[in-house]
Amino acid sequence: MPIIETSGLTQSYNETTVLRDVDLKVEPGETLGIIGPSGAGKSTLIRLLDLLEIPSSGSISIFNQTVNNKTDRLPLRRRMAFVHQKPLVFTTSVFDNVAQPLRWRGIKKDVIKAQVHEALALVKMDAYINRHAKTLSGGETQRVALARALVTRPELLFLDEPTANLDPQSTVMVEELISSVIQARNLTVVMTTHDLAQGQRLADRIGVLVAGKLLQLGQAQEIFMAPACRAVAEFIGVENILSGTVTAADNGLFTVAAAGRAIQAVGDFKPGDTVDLFIRPEDIVISVTDDKTSARNHFAGTITRLSLVSPLVRLELDADGLTLMAVVTQQAAADLELVIGKLVFASLKATAIHAARGVCLIK
């Protein structure tokens, strides 16, 4: 049984719809990452799941209970906790900050003391127990906010961009803590991030939210290798995206007329289909001679840009009006004597191209 299930979840503010028709299920013990660009509706979704807001339409079921306007939310909300993007700490000690949710619940002093110690130990902040919370660094504040969320022993934890305001070192530390806490407490987690790599490190599954729509839901690797549509590919940073129409298809191999040429790829498409082709720079093989390889696609092009992104060299090719980004190692760039203006040959296997229908088929 899923811990969270939504159907057609929609939220509008002043007649602007910021979340549309979201269907998702979160299983017990699962960590679901919601990724998407700024303004996509990630925080709105997480606020709805935390029962802080009432949706414009659609339904939410949490802990097997359908939530509607008449539902008493407090008992459900007491089984969950939320760490906000910019957590606020009270102008008191670390101990008092973490103890507060237990005091609100009227828990006895000695139990509070034990649970605060336990929560601070989980986030490795026990040494800071008497510090004034306002004197903490950003990473430390985030850890105290995490302890304050965990102190009530929630079953469900919501994390809204937990490392958005942190430097890389604190990000690593907070990510490691989140991961160990999830395991130690066997928590079900929904977290938002704008970073697919962070989602990959922390989440079991990823949902990609763009312009209020959940466009893809799956394993991070699946999203990385096979974006469901152009909007997902653009968000995760696929650099070569071509649009075209399928002109021929035979036994899983199809030809697309795109950028004035015939490109071959594998997939289940038929003539007349409109498709987008996603090509990763690392899948393009560069040579300086026009040797025909077994690859199905060959392009001759002039190097228009070269940049060092250690340990690789990135190159931009102009292949008769078609711009392609490719990468080679620094050694290969030196061996091939790659310079701006040089004519090179790019080859690409049909299997290295991922194709998706031109329209995002949501759900």
The region of 34-42, 242-250, 294-302, 354-362 touching ligand ATP under the rule CB under 6 A is 34-42
Can you say whether the dihedral through the CA atoms of 180, 133, 83, 175 is positive or negative?
negative
The region of 33-41, 227-235, 252-260, 336-344 touching ligand ATP under the rule CB under 6 A is 33-41
As measured in angstroms, the least distance from the Cβ of 43 to ligand ATP is: 3
**Which is closer to ligand ATP, CB of 48 or CB of 275?**
48
Distance of CA 312 to the CA centre of its chain: 25
d(CA 42, CA 214): 10
Stretch 242-271: interaction string toward ligand ATP, x if CB under 6 A? ------------------------------
Binding of ligand ATP by 20 (CB under 6 A): no
Provide the pairing of β-strand 156-160 with 188-193.
Answer: parallel
**Which is closer to ligand ATP, CB of 44 or CB of 115?**
44
| Binding to ligand ATP, residues 151-190 (CB under 6 A) | none
As measured in angstroms, the least distance from the Cβ of 207 to ligand ATP is: 12
The residue from 194, 201, 261, 357 that contacts ligand ATP (CB under 6 A) is: 194
d(CA 189, CA 9): 19
Instruction: Give 93's DSSP letter.
Output: B
Tell me if residue 157 falls in helix, strand or coil: strand
Binding of ligand ATP by 59 (CB under 6 A): no
The region of 37-45, 229-237, 239-247, 340-348 touching ligand ATP under the rule CB under 6 A is 37-45
Encoding tokens for residue 232? Answer: 């997902």
**Which is closer to ligand ATP, CB of 16 or CB of 251?**
16
**Which is closer to ligand ATP, CB of 156 or CB of 209?**
209
Binding of ligand ATP by 13 (CB under 6 A): yes
Check if the beta carbon of residue 43 is closer than 8 Å to that of residue 21: no
The residue from 39, 252, 260, 271 that contacts ligand ATP (CB under 6 A) is: 39
Rounding to the nearest 10 degrees, give the CA dihedral for residues 288, 294, 299, 302.
Answer: -10
Tell me if residue 241 falls in helix, strand or coil: strand
> Tell me, what amino acid is at 308?
L
As measured in angstroms, the least distance from the Cβ of 46 to ligand ATP is: 8
The region of 36-44, 56-64, 107-115, 341-349 touching ligand ATP under the rule CB under 6 A is 36-44
As measured in angstroms, the least distance from the Cβ of 16 to ligand ATP is: 7
Encoding tokens for residue 292? Answer: 């025909």
Binding of ligand ATP by 44 (CB under 6 A): yes
Residues recorded for the chain = 363
d(CA 250, CA 301): 29
The residue from 7, 10, 17, 43 that contacts ligand ATP (CB under 6 A) is: 43
Binding of ligand ATP by 199 (CB under 6 A): no
Check if the beta carbon of residue 207 is closer than 8 Å to that of residue 214: yes
As measured in angstroms, the least distance from the Cβ of 160 to ligand ATP is: 7
d(CA 28, CA 189): 9
As measured in angstroms, the least distance from the Cβ of 53 to ligand ATP is: 8
Q: List strand residue ranges (DSSP E) for 194-321, in order.
A: 205-210, 213-218, 240-250, 253-258, 261-266, 274-279, 285-287, 297-309, 312-319
**Which is closer to ligand ATP, CB of 161 or CB of 316?**
161
Provide the pairing of β-strand 240-250 with 274-279.
Answer: antiparallel
Provide the pairing of β-strand 297-309 with 261-266.
Answer: unpaired
As measured in angstroms, the least distance from the Cβ of 18 to ligand ATP is: 4
| Binding to ligand ATP, residues 269-328 (CB under 6 A) | none
Q: Which of 307, 308, 290 is nearest to 299 (CA)?
A: 290
Binding site for ligand ATP (CB under 6 A): 13, 18, 36, 38-44, 194
